[in-house]
Amino acid sequence: MSAVEPKVEKILEVQQVKKHFNVGRGQVVQAVDNVSFDVYKGETLGLVGESGCGKSTIGRTIIRLYEATDGNINFKGKMTKDLKGKNLKQFNREMQMIFQDPYASLNPRMTVGDIIAEGLDIHELAKGKERRDKVVELLKTVGLNEEHADRFPHEFSGGQRQRIGIARALAVDPDFIIADEPISALDVSIQAQVVNLMKKLQREKGLTYLFIAHDLSMVKYISDRVGVMYLGNMVELADSQELYDNPLHPYTEALLSAVPIPDPETEKRKERIILKGDVPSPIDPPSGCRFRTRCPKAMGICAQEIPTWQEVRPLHWVSCHLYQEESLKKEEGVK
Amino acid sequence: MDRKNVLEVKDLHVSFHTYNGEVQAVRGVSFEVKNGETVAIVGESGCGKSVTSQSIMRLIPQPPGVIKHGEILFEGNDLTKLPEKKMEEMRGKEIAMIFQDPMTSLNPTMTVGKQIMEGLIKHQKLGKAEARQKALEMLRLVGIPSPDSRINQYPHQFSGGMRQRAMIAIALSCAPKLLIADEPTTALDVTIQAQILHLMNDLKEKMDTSIILITHDLGVVAETADRVVVMYAGKVVETGTVEEIFYKPRHPYTWGLMGSMPRLNLSRDTELSPILGTPPNLLTPPKGCPFASRCEHAMQVCKEHMPETTNSSDSHQVACWLEHPMAKPVDIPHDVVGGVSK
Amino acid sequence: MSSMNSSTQNLTPEMFQPIERDTLAQEGVSSKKITFWGDVWRRFLKNKGALIGALLLLVIGILAIVGPEIHSYSYRSVNYDLINKEAFGDHWFGTDGAGRDVWTRTWYGAGISLLIAFLATAFDLFIGVPYGCISGYYGGKVDNWMQRIIEVLYGIPNLIVIILLLLWMKPGIIAIALALGITGWITMARVVRGQMLKLKSQEYVLAARTLGASTRRMLTKHMLPNVLGPVIITIMFSIPTAIFFEAFLAFIGLGIRPPEASLGVLINDGYKVLQLFPYQLFFPALVLSLIMFSFNLVGDGLRDALDPKLRQ
């Protein structure tokens, strides 16, 4: 279809994935609905969106903490939902996760050494002195040192804990890491430490990241490509520079304009798109395009038809009626 | 800028007594807030910014907390010495506060309307009908749609952004002279944050309230503040107008803060310049400059003596030994200024 | 306003030389290694009330073991020459209506009461903890069913269960402990289930799952060590409840049969002669109160020491 087909191989394919949660009384939360995207080997794909948009749910579904309600997830050519036994163990080594809350992501009753070595123990990768050496090596990789191995998590600061969490993920030599808001709970100066570390590790180990966050400036900085999610749908996906320079979806535009920029002059001159109202409930999402209730450019057709996920420019995907000729024609017809 | 000072904080010291000993959360903080201006207090968690604001409201739990030293002058009255009864009158009427998490600061068993009316009846001695009228007006002012039905609803029926609006309505209902906003948008999404900041700027102009904005987000500061107070480890390291702080920062910690933030125009290949290490433990604060152990330009003197505050302009003060004539001049790192001003 | 005041501090140009940053110091953690339990212990020691409670319990425990042996009197041998002797004579707590030494009987009875309470609590542990674990860990349908069962059991008045059980079995230490245990484990199961549900969504538990940890590993390494605190606290409060309930059973005539003694039996006997020989009620009642009181003090202290919300 497009001229510039990337030569790199796909490591992960997410196809039409749905994840619905039954919340009782016959109500269903459509946390993720028909989301499709690919992740290429060695890249960082950023996922942004506001709370409740389903970005964390999709991450957890990919790593099989949740079971997808519908759709397929292919990791290295294998359907993840069919993995069993040895293959599942292999999958657990190849895909790892970094969590959001540095205070909840480390077991308070285990020493840092045991936390980091958990993967080694589970997969029986190293024992005795070899295990200890590996732990020390991992501690050094994330900028800590040997004496920290016998300490308990509560003796560390948030940034240090987050690095311990990274070391735990690295212990099993993964290729693909899902980072679920890894810096949201950290202070600004510490965020930069963790992001720099993640970038360094990517260069050295050729890691692939799925970086989930709500901080757009950080996502733009760390990602090669960025996907924007809204209320369980992916609304736009493009190269990060392209997305920030030419946002197509009205939601992306609003999101970008809402980010406060640390520059008073720019702030004064900036025309801000202020969206009206709040995100609707994912239990009963709006018909047609889910963004239409807050969209400044909503048309009649937006309430009737769900926009299709289309590549409107090379490698720039968007799901919006404004960029679909047929929809625009229909809209004209209505008028 | 010949405006009257609404609030003056002078050499404030606040400590907490914990199991492990005395935590010196605030160690000699001074700043002032002028009539109708927005002062942002920025710094990382644990730098004492929230403790400072809670001291102004006298909301520090005592014990374990204690205001050890210093004055907080609100229109000339020292709030630290005010009897609790008088202080109660102050809160809500003269000084109001909005918090990070609106859910925990709203009473879940009372309708939003009642909570707005409560202050009006108590402080402005309004009748019930009048108070209700005023409450409706406030809800309309903060942009809550269909206030007639919303006034009878409970906080849990409001979304996060709406709750924060309701909080602002409560805080501003008695037209306080000073509004303290402690991380008012941190718990909110960006699009909702934009709504709330827009609203706060708007209301400030309409009602001529002074605002103390406590935040760690420099973007929010750039958008709303007139002046900035940068805090680190319980001390003020730099104060200045928003332009001075963003375009001519003088303290290495401020440089570090600016350098850690990725800007939308920063390319992927440039490294962020983080501040290495972690802030000092305030159980045993360092003798000299608290930033010395993380500072790229640290000198011997920094470890031993706390730098004094020097004026680099009428409105710009810095506490750093680099300002001393004997120190070798240091250029502001290129990425800080270059990044900020395009 | 203020200007650099260098005269008070002897500043020299050498002091303005840049220094190297100590990278290790930047990653510094406190020099002392603190384990979780070490920290709990430290905080417990700082709580005076809890310390007094623990000390009292220790004294009572020792007395329950050695107390009956101090004198040569047996707790059961009847001596009609020594009926109802006053306290503080040869017999420290006096003697009862059958001429038995009250001191010996009180401490013997305290020992039996404590033993019954411990046995009952063991039931809590061996039924309540696994039940709560399974219910909370597996969740879903399993949890739903197990909770319905608990609700039904909870609906049956426990006194009826206990009376029926004691009618069927002969009242003795085991029977009473069993009766208390059978009705008492529900609280423990609920506490453990609640903790499990909370822990299950903790990120470190999720992290272990993404690493492919087995169910056994999940339970033994991640879940159980973290429910230990609440379990201990529940035990500290269920022991005095069991002691009290045993006394109550004895009081309504369902307790251990004389000449065996428990605090409840002694109080029941003493109560009958309260107007003539009040000391026969006073001493066992005092010991019972002290046991209840100290367990509650220790329980409160442990809760404060274990509660992470109060940690600094």
Q: What is the mean pLDDT of residues C34-50?
A: 81
Q: What pLDDT band is residue C310 in, cutting at 50, 70 and 90?
A: very low
For residue range A6-23, what is the model confidence (pLDDT) as tens digits? 557 899 999 999 999 988
pLDDT of residue C271: 80
Please determine, for residue C22, whether its predicted confidence score (pLDDT) is greater than 80. no
Question: Are C212 and A123 inside 8 Å of each other by CB?
Answer: yes
What mean pLDDT value characterizes chain B? 85
Q: Which of A50, A144, A161, A187 to mutate to test the interface with B (most CBs of B within 10 A)?
A: A187
For residue range A25-55, what is the model confidence (pLDDT) as tens digits? 788 889 999 999 999 999 999 999 888 889 9
Q: Which of B157, B163, B164, B191 to mutate to test the interface with A (most CBs of A within 10 A)?
A: B191
pLDDT of residue C312: 38
B223/A contact by beta carbon, under 8 A:
yes
Domain residue limits at C126: 58-76+103-310
pLDDT of residue B191: 82
Q: Is residue C177 part of a domain?
A: yes
Spatial strand order in the sheet of B77-78: B21-34, B5-18, B65-74, B77-78
pLDDT of residue C21: 65
Q: How are beta strands B210-215 and B235-241 bridged, if at all?
A: unpaired
Please determine, for residue C4, whether its predicted confidence score (pLDDT) is greater than 50. no
Nearest to B296 by CA among C26, A195, C10: C26
Cα gap A258→A247, rounded to integer Å: 13
For residue range C247-285, what is the model confidence (pLDDT) as tens digits? 888 888 777 777 778 888 888 777 877 777 777 778 888
Neighbours of chain C (3+ CB pairs under 8 A): A, B
Q: Is residue C264 part of a domain?
A: yes
A149/B contact by beta carbon, under 8 A:
no
Q: Are A57 and A180 in contact (CB under 8 A)?
A: no
pLDDT of residue B342: 36
What mean pLDDT value characterizes chain A? 89
pTM of the model: 0.83
pLDDT of residue A13: 94
% of residues, chain A, pLDDT over 90: 52
B146/A contact by beta carbon, under 8 A:
no
Nearest 5°: phi and psi at A275?
A: -70, 145
Q: What pLDDT band is residue A229 in, cutting at 50, 70 and 90?
A: very high
Cα gap C50→C298, rounded to integer Å: 4
Please determine, for residue C116, whether its predicted confidence score (pLDDT) is greater than 70. yes
The domains located in chain A, with CATH, are: 10-237 (3.40.50.300)
CATH of the domain at C108: 1.10.3720.10
Beta carbons within 8 Å of C241's beta carbon, 6+ residues apart:
C184
Q: Which of B236, B294, B308 to mutate to test the interface with C (most CBs of C within 10 A)?
A: B308
- Sequence letter at residue B293: S
Question: Are B263 and A262 inside 8 Å of each other by CB?
Answer: yes
Listed range (A272-286, B219-233, C214-228) with the worst mean pLDDT: A272-286
pLDDT of residue B298: 84
How distant is the Cα of B327 from the closest Cα of chain C, in angstroms?
5
Question: Are A258 and B268 inside 8 Å of each other by CB?
Answer: no
Please determine, for residue C5, whether its predicted confidence score (pLDDT) is greater than 50. no
Helix (H) or strand (E) run with residue A57 in it: helix A55-62
Helix axes B128-141, B112-123, angle to 10 degrees: 120
Q: Is residue C240 part of a domain?
A: yes
pLDDT of residue C27: 64
C160/B contact by beta carbon, under 8 A:
no
Residues of C in contact with B310 (CB under 8 A): 2-4
CA torsion angle B266 B269 B271 B272 (round to 10) = 30
pLDDT of residue C91: 66
Q: What is the DSSP letter of B299?
A: B
- Sequence letter at residue A82: D
For residue range A127-163, what is the model confidence (pLDDT) as tens digits? 889 999 999 999 999 988 888 898 888 888 888 899 9
A1/B contact by beta carbon, under 8 A:
no
Q: What pLDDT band is residue A214 in, cutting at 50, 70 and 90?
A: confident
Question: Are C34 and A106 inside 8 Å of each other by CB?
Answer: no
Structural tokens at position C69: 């042996």
Question: Are B326 and C18 inside 8 Å of each other by CB?
Answer: no
Question: Are A263 and B256 inside 8 Å of each other by CB?
Answer: no
pLDDT of residue B340: 43
Beta carbons within 8 Å of A126's beta carbon, 6+ residues apart:
A117, A120, A133, A134
How distant is the Cα of B90 from the closest Cα of chain C, in angstroms?
31
Q: What is the mean pLDDT of each run of 10 residues along chain B (342 residues)?
A: 80 85 88 91 88 88 84 87 85 86 83 89 85 88 83 85 85 87 83 84 85 90 92 92 90 88 72 80 85 85 86 88 82 59 38
DSSP-derived 3-state class of residue A158 = helix
- Sequence letter at residue A326: E
Question: Are B263 and A263 inside 8 Å of each other by CB?
Answer: yes
Cα gap C164→A85, rounded to integer Å: 51
pLDDT of residue A209: 95
Please determine, for residue C308, whether its predicted confidence score (pLDDT) is greater than 60. no
Give DSSP secondary structure letters for B38-49: EEEEE--TTSSH
Q: What is the DSSP letter of B23?
A: E
What are the beta bridge partners of residue B41? B214, B229
Q: What are the angstrom distances between the C-alpha of B144 and each of A51, A296, B171? A: 21, 19, 15
Cα gap B217→A262, rounded to integer Å: 8
Please determine, for residue C24, whether its predicted confidence score (pLDDT) is greater than 60. no
Beta carbons within 8 Å of B183's beta carbon, 6+ residues apart:
B50, B99, B100, B214, B215, B216
Please determine, for residue C153, whether its predicted confidence score (pLDDT) is greater than 90. no
* Of the partner residues C3, C14, C26, the one whose CB lies closest to the CB of residue B277: C26
Q: What is the mean pLDDT of residues C151-169?
A: 83
B156/A contact by beta carbon, under 8 A:
no
Please determine, for residue C7, whether its predicted confidence score (pLDDT) is greater than 70. no
Cis peptide bond prior to B145, omega within 30° of 0: no
Tally of domains within chain C: 1
The domains located in chain B, with CATH, are: 5-231 (3.40.50.300), 233-340 (no CATH)
CB pairs under 8 A between B and C: 74
pLDDT of residue A226: 95
pLDDT of residue A11: 93
Question: Are A150 and C33 inside 8 Å of each other by CB?
Answer: yes
Question: Are B324 and C4 inside 8 Å of each other by CB?
Answer: yes
Q: What are the angstrom distances between the C-alpha of A224 and each of A220, A241, A321, C292? A: 8, 8, 26, 66
pLDDT of residue A19: 93
Q: Is residue C47 part of a domain?
A: no
What are the beta bridge partners of residue B72? B9
% of residues, chain A, pLDDT over 70: 97
Residues of B in contact with A275 (CB under 8 A): 191, 194-195
Neighbours of chain A (3+ CB pairs under 8 A): B, C
Question: Are B325 and C19 inside 8 Å of each other by CB?
Answer: no
Q: Are B203 and B150 in contact (CB under 8 A)?
A: no
